[in-house]
Amino acid sequence: MNKDVRKIADKGYVTIMVIWVSAILIVLSAGLVIYVSKEYKALKNYIKSIKASYIARTGLNDVMFDVLTSRGGLNTESAIQEFNNAYQNVPFAEGVYSASIEDEKSKANINTASSLLCKNIMDLLDINDSSRKSESIIRWRREHGAFADVEELGLISDLDINDCFKLIPYFTVYSLGTPASRSVNVNTASKTILKAHFDEFKALPGTEEKIIQRRPFKNVNDLWRYIKKISPNLNDNMVKYFTTSAPVYRAYVVASIDGCYVSKINAVFELWLEKHEILYLRYFWQE
């Protein structure tokens, strides 16, 4: 009788062990399935993100080629807007991309701008305490060297985040911005930028309004003659600060696959029409 009980007990232990081992194997198998499934999904996501990146680069190359072949036709606000509208949700391979360009010559150079110019821009943008904040930009530049990017305005303690968001669209680091450098393109510059510069040069009141009403200008000689006519107090260096061409562009491309795998890239390039080539100033960086 004891032997029978012992056999039954042994069988019970074996059964329990089998059940435990089976349970452990099931759990391990389920874990392995989940792990493999997650890794597979992660791999698919990675592959799609890489594809989105290459779609973005394709869009960037398309944009730069079209700018090159435009032969200087993108020299007004309306022309740039029309160009950008044509590059929205362009299908390519498994995804789409949207692209836009900005004329860097339509902005003020943060690395050469005077304190007065910075103050003028801040006043026109209704930024409080403009004198102190403009001086802080000059001081930061003196202590740390040239800005590598306009987003570095966020490193200046005297500027709050709202100040930076207001200022960044009006500044660049990619145009020379020095007297006689033909730095600002009057055909694409905003009223804020034009007025800030003309006020810095002490041009006659309303000069920027007359420029905006008269543009687009076909060539710099016509522009310079017109500026001298409406504001004869400006010297030649001040007059020749302004130009009618826009050889420096920033391109911004956003590509996506399935609406969720997104790649964003930027590039800045200079167009040399005479030599039929593009000079890359910064190509490319990813957000």
Distances (CA, A) of 147 to 101, 110, 178, 196, 252: 22, 7, 16, 20, 20
Helices (H) and strands (E) in the chain, counts: 9, 9
The tokens describing 172, both together, are 């660049």
With a CB cutoff of 8 Å and minimum separation 6, the contacts of 168 are 150, 151, 153
Model confidence, pTM: 0.80
Question: Of 188, 191, 185, which Cα lies nearest the Cα of 76?
Answer: 188
Cβ(220)–Cβ(182) below 8 Å: yes
The residues pairing with 273 across neighbouring beta strands, listed in sequence order, are none
- Res 33: pLDDT: 67
Domains of the chain: 44-105+246-286 (3.30.1300), 106-179+187-243 (no CATH)
Q: How far apart are CA 30 and CA 274, in angstroms?
A: 66
- Res 111: pLDDT: 92
Encode the chain (287 residues) as per-residue pLDDT tens digits: 555 555 555 556 667 776 777 767 777 776 666 766 776 777 788 888 899 999 999 999 999 888 888 766 788 888 999 999 999 999 998 899 999 999 999 999 999 999 999 999 999 999 999 999 999 999 999 999 999 999 999 999 999 999 999 999 999 998 776 655 668 999 999 999 999 999 999 999 999 999 999 999 988 999 999 999 999 999 998 999 999 887 789 999 999 998 888 899 999 988 776 555 677 888 888 77
